[in-house]
A = this chain, B = another copy of it.
Protein backbone atom coordinates (compact mmCIF):
# COMPACT_ATOMS: atom_id res chain seq x y z
CA UNK A 1 0.00 0.00 0.00
CA UNK A 2 1.62 3.24 -1.12
CA UNK A 3 0.25 6.41 0.39
CA UNK A 4 -1.26 9.05 -1.81
CA UNK A 5 1.12 11.73 -0.54
CA UNK A 6 4.09 9.53 -1.46
CA UNK A 7 2.85 9.30 -5.03
CA UNK A 8 2.39 13.05 -5.19
CA UNK A 9 5.85 13.57 -3.70
CA UNK A 10 7.35 11.16 -6.22
CA UNK A 11 5.73 13.00 -9.10
CA UNK A 12 6.90 16.39 -7.89
CA UNK A 13 10.38 15.04 -7.22
CA UNK A 14 10.63 13.71 -10.74
CA UNK A 15 9.59 17.09 -12.10
CA UNK A 16 12.26 18.80 -10.04
CA UNK A 17 14.97 16.32 -11.01
CA UNK A 18 13.97 16.54 -14.66
CA UNK A 19 14.29 20.30 -14.60
CA UNK A 20 10.61 21.14 -15.02
CA UNK A 21 11.06 23.24 -11.88
CA UNK A 22 14.65 24.50 -12.07
CA UNK A 23 16.71 25.35 -9.01
CA UNK A 24 15.61 28.73 -7.69
CA UNK A 25 12.15 28.61 -9.24
CA UNK A 26 8.86 28.54 -7.41
CA UNK A 27 6.65 25.53 -6.84
CA UNK A 28 2.90 25.84 -7.51
CA UNK A 29 0.83 26.88 -4.51
CA UNK A 30 -0.82 24.30 -2.28
CA UNK A 31 -4.20 25.19 -3.71
CA UNK A 32 -2.99 24.63 -7.26
CA UNK A 33 -1.40 21.31 -6.35
CA UNK A 34 -4.54 20.22 -4.50
CA UNK A 35 -6.56 20.95 -7.62
CA UNK A 36 -4.13 19.20 -9.93
CA UNK A 37 -3.93 16.03 -7.83
CA UNK A 38 -7.57 16.18 -6.64
CA UNK A 39 -6.44 15.81 -3.04
CA UNK A 40 -7.10 17.70 0.14
CA UNK A 41 -4.73 20.45 1.08
CA UNK A 42 -3.42 18.42 4.01
CA UNK A 43 -2.35 15.66 1.68
CA UNK A 44 -0.37 17.88 -0.66
CA UNK A 45 1.20 19.53 2.40
CA UNK A 46 2.35 16.10 3.51
CA UNK A 47 3.79 15.46 0.05
CA UNK A 48 5.68 18.73 -0.04
CA UNK A 49 6.94 18.09 3.51
CA UNK A 50 8.72 15.03 2.16
CA UNK A 51 10.58 17.13 -0.38
CA UNK A 52 11.41 19.72 2.26
CA UNK A 53 12.82 16.99 4.49
CA UNK A 54 14.93 15.76 1.59
CA UNK A 55 16.34 19.25 1.19
CA UNK A 56 15.00 19.60 -2.33
CA UNK A 57 12.52 22.34 -1.49
CA UNK A 58 12.58 25.32 0.85
CA UNK A 59 9.50 26.53 2.64
CA UNK A 60 8.56 29.62 4.60
CA UNK A 61 5.33 31.14 5.71
CA UNK A 62 3.72 33.61 3.35
CA UNK A 63 6.00 32.97 0.37
CA UNK A 64 5.83 30.44 -2.42
CA UNK A 65 7.99 27.37 -1.95
CA UNK A 66 11.21 27.36 -3.91
CA UNK A 67 13.39 24.65 -5.39
CA UNK A 68 16.73 24.43 -3.58
CA UNK A 69 18.50 21.56 -5.26
CA UNK A 70 18.13 18.74 -7.66
CA UNK A 71 20.04 15.79 -6.26
CA UNK A 72 18.62 12.49 -5.21
CA UNK A 73 19.08 11.51 -1.58
CA UNK A 74 19.58 8.02 -0.30
CA UNK A 75 17.77 5.64 1.94
CA UNK A 76 18.63 4.60 5.46
CA UNK A 77 19.72 1.21 4.18
CA UNK A 78 22.19 2.85 1.87
CA UNK A 79 23.74 4.77 4.71
CA UNK A 80 23.78 1.80 7.00
CA UNK A 81 25.00 -0.91 4.71
CA UNK A 82 28.17 -0.52 2.69
CA UNK A 83 27.02 -3.23 0.28
CA UNK A 84 23.61 -1.72 -0.36
CA UNK A 85 25.12 1.70 -0.82
CA UNK A 86 27.81 0.51 -3.21
CA UNK A 87 25.34 -1.56 -5.19
CA UNK A 88 22.89 1.35 -5.52
CA UNK A 89 25.73 3.51 -6.79
CA UNK A 90 26.78 0.91 -9.32
CA UNK A 91 30.22 0.34 -7.81
CA UNK A 92 32.21 -2.85 -7.84
CA UNK A 93 32.74 -3.80 -4.21
CA UNK A 94 33.78 -6.59 -1.92
CA UNK A 95 34.67 -7.45 1.65
CA UNK A 96 36.63 -9.90 3.75
CA UNK A 97 36.68 -10.81 7.42
CA UNK A 98 40.23 -10.48 8.75
CA UNK A 99 39.64 -11.42 12.33
CA UNK A 100 36.72 -12.47 14.48
CA UNK A 101 36.40 -13.34 18.12
CA UNK A 102 34.01 -13.54 21.03
CA UNK A 103 34.83 -11.72 24.21
CA UNK A 104 33.24 -10.07 27.19
CA UNK A 105 31.76 -6.60 26.60
CA UNK A 106 33.75 -3.65 27.86
CA UNK A 107 32.04 -1.15 30.12
CA UNK A 108 31.35 1.23 27.24
CA UNK A 109 29.99 -1.57 25.07
CA UNK A 110 27.77 -2.80 27.86
CA UNK A 111 26.19 0.62 28.06
CA UNK A 112 25.48 0.62 24.34
CA UNK A 113 24.72 -3.04 23.65
CA UNK A 114 23.49 -4.43 26.92
CA UNK A 115 26.43 -6.34 28.37
CA UNK A 116 27.35 -10.01 28.43
CA UNK A 117 29.37 -11.59 25.65
CA UNK A 118 29.87 -9.82 22.33
CA UNK A 119 31.33 -10.71 18.95
CA UNK A 120 34.02 -8.48 17.50
CA UNK A 121 34.66 -8.62 13.78
CA UNK A 122 37.35 -6.89 11.76
CA UNK A 123 36.57 -6.50 8.07
CA UNK A 124 38.15 -4.77 5.13
CA UNK A 125 35.91 -3.50 2.33
CA UNK A 126 36.92 -2.72 -1.20
CA UNK A 127 35.48 -0.32 -3.73
CA UNK A 128 36.53 -0.67 -7.37
CA UNK A 129 39.01 -3.30 -6.16
CA UNK A 130 40.83 -0.94 -3.84
CA UNK A 131 40.62 -1.30 -0.06
CA UNK A 132 38.83 1.81 1.23
CA UNK A 133 37.34 0.86 4.58
CA UNK A 134 38.38 -0.90 7.77
CA UNK A 135 35.37 -1.90 9.83
CA UNK A 136 35.58 -2.93 13.47
CA UNK A 137 32.11 -4.05 14.43
CA UNK A 138 30.95 -5.33 17.79
CA UNK A 139 27.71 -7.32 17.71
CA UNK A 140 25.43 -7.86 20.68
CA UNK A 141 25.43 -11.37 22.12
CA UNK A 142 22.00 -12.26 20.76
CA UNK A 143 23.10 -11.94 17.11
CA UNK A 144 26.65 -13.22 17.58
CA UNK A 145 25.98 -16.82 16.62
CA UNK A 146 24.20 -15.78 13.42
CA UNK A 147 27.03 -13.47 12.36
CA UNK A 148 29.65 -16.12 13.17
CA UNK A 149 28.07 -18.53 10.73
CA UNK A 150 28.32 -16.12 7.79
CA UNK A 151 31.02 -16.72 5.17
CA UNK A 152 34.18 -14.66 5.54
CA UNK A 153 33.58 -12.89 2.23
CA UNK A 154 29.89 -12.22 2.92
CA UNK A 155 28.94 -9.21 0.84
CA UNK A 156 26.29 -7.77 3.09
CA UNK A 157 25.86 -8.64 6.73
CA UNK A 158 22.79 -6.43 6.87
CA UNK A 159 21.05 -8.39 4.15
CA UNK A 160 22.19 -11.73 5.58
CA UNK A 161 20.74 -10.87 8.98
CA UNK A 162 17.46 -9.94 7.38
CA UNK A 163 17.32 -13.10 5.29
CA UNK A 164 18.21 -15.46 8.12
CA UNK A 165 16.38 -14.09 11.14
CA UNK A 166 14.30 -11.24 9.73
CA UNK A 167 16.34 -8.66 11.59
CA UNK A 168 15.79 -5.08 10.44
CA UNK A 169 18.10 -2.23 11.30
CA UNK A 170 15.85 0.75 11.96
CA UNK A 171 17.67 3.48 13.87
CA UNK A 172 21.24 4.67 13.84
CA UNK A 173 23.42 7.10 15.66
CA UNK A 174 26.61 8.28 13.98
CA UNK A 175 29.67 10.19 15.09
CA UNK A 176 32.01 11.40 12.38
CA UNK A 177 35.56 12.70 12.77
CA UNK A 178 39.08 12.33 11.44
CA UNK A 179 41.91 10.22 12.82
CA UNK A 180 45.33 9.19 11.63
CA UNK A 181 46.02 5.68 10.48
CA UNK A 182 47.76 3.37 12.94
CA UNK A 183 50.20 0.71 11.79
CA UNK A 184 47.51 -1.91 11.46
CA UNK A 185 44.97 0.30 9.63
CA UNK A 186 47.67 1.58 7.33
CA UNK A 187 48.69 -1.90 6.27
CA UNK A 188 45.08 -3.01 5.69
CA UNK A 189 44.28 0.05 3.59
CA UNK A 190 47.58 0.30 1.77
CA UNK A 191 48.38 3.80 2.98
CA UNK A 192 51.22 5.25 5.01
CA UNK A 193 51.08 5.24 8.78
CA UNK A 194 49.71 8.58 9.99
CA UNK A 195 47.58 9.12 6.88
CA UNK A 196 44.24 10.80 7.47
CA UNK A 197 41.20 8.54 7.80
CA UNK A 198 37.55 9.52 7.95
CA UNK A 199 36.05 7.77 10.95
CA UNK A 200 32.40 6.94 11.43
CA UNK A 201 31.37 5.43 14.74
CA UNK A 202 27.83 4.17 14.88
CA UNK A 203 25.35 2.27 16.96
CA UNK A 204 22.34 0.67 15.33
CA UNK A 205 19.14 -0.62 16.86
CA UNK A 206 16.02 -2.51 15.81
CA UNK A 207 12.52 -1.10 15.49
CA UNK A 208 12.01 -1.82 19.16
CA UNK A 209 15.08 0.16 20.13
CA UNK A 210 17.12 -2.97 20.88
CA UNK A 211 20.80 -2.37 20.10
CA UNK A 212 22.30 -4.73 17.55
CA UNK A 213 25.81 -3.50 16.86
CA UNK A 214 28.27 -0.75 17.36
CA UNK A 215 31.03 -0.13 14.86
CA UNK A 216 34.16 1.89 14.23
CA UNK A 217 34.53 2.38 10.47
CA UNK A 218 37.58 4.08 8.97
CA UNK A 219 37.66 5.23 5.37
CA UNK A 220 40.81 6.03 3.48
CA UNK A 221 40.89 9.77 2.78
CA UNK A 222 39.78 10.63 -0.71
CA UNK A 223 37.51 7.63 -1.10
CA UNK A 224 34.25 8.58 0.56
CA UNK A 225 32.55 11.74 1.87
CA UNK A 226 29.37 12.38 3.80
CA UNK A 227 26.86 14.85 2.52
CA UNK A 228 24.04 16.67 4.25
CA UNK A 229 21.40 19.21 3.41
CA UNK A 230 19.84 21.15 6.20
CA UNK A 231 17.79 24.20 6.92
CA UNK A 232 16.49 26.39 9.67
CA UNK A 233 14.01 24.24 11.51
CA UNK A 234 15.37 20.91 10.33
CA UNK A 235 18.82 20.12 11.55
CA UNK A 236 19.89 16.53 11.76
CA UNK A 237 23.60 17.22 11.85
CA UNK A 238 25.25 18.31 15.03
CA UNK A 239 28.78 19.42 15.77
CA UNK A 240 30.39 18.20 18.96
CA UNK A 241 33.50 19.31 20.72
CA UNK A 242 35.81 16.59 21.84
CA UNK A 243 37.11 17.01 25.34
CA UNK A 244 40.19 19.15 24.82
CA UNK A 245 41.88 18.00 27.99
CA UNK A 246 41.70 14.21 27.53
CA UNK A 247 42.09 13.64 23.84
CA UNK A 248 41.73 10.09 22.46
Chain A interface residues toward B at CB < 8 A: 23-24, 53, 55, 58, 60, 63, 66-69, 73-79, 85-86, 89, 91, 127-128, 130, 168-180, 194-199, 205, 207-209, 219, 221-242, 244, 247-248
Contact = CB atoms under 8 A, between A and B. Distances in A.
Quickly give the copy total for this chain. Answer: 2
B174 A205 contact: no
A219 B128 CA distance: 29
8 contacts: A63-B208, A74-B238, A76-B232, A174-B230, A176-B227, A196-B196, A225-B239, A236-B236
Nearest to A82: B239
B227 A242 contact: no
Given A228-B236, A238-B227, A196 B222 contact: no
Nearest to A229: B173
Contact of A75 (B68, B177, B235): B235
B244 A226 contact: no
Among the interface residues A85, A86, A172, A248, which one has the most CB atoms of the partner chain B within 10 A? Answer: A172
Contact of A236 (B55, B85, B180, B195): B55
Contacts of A235: 73-76, 78-79
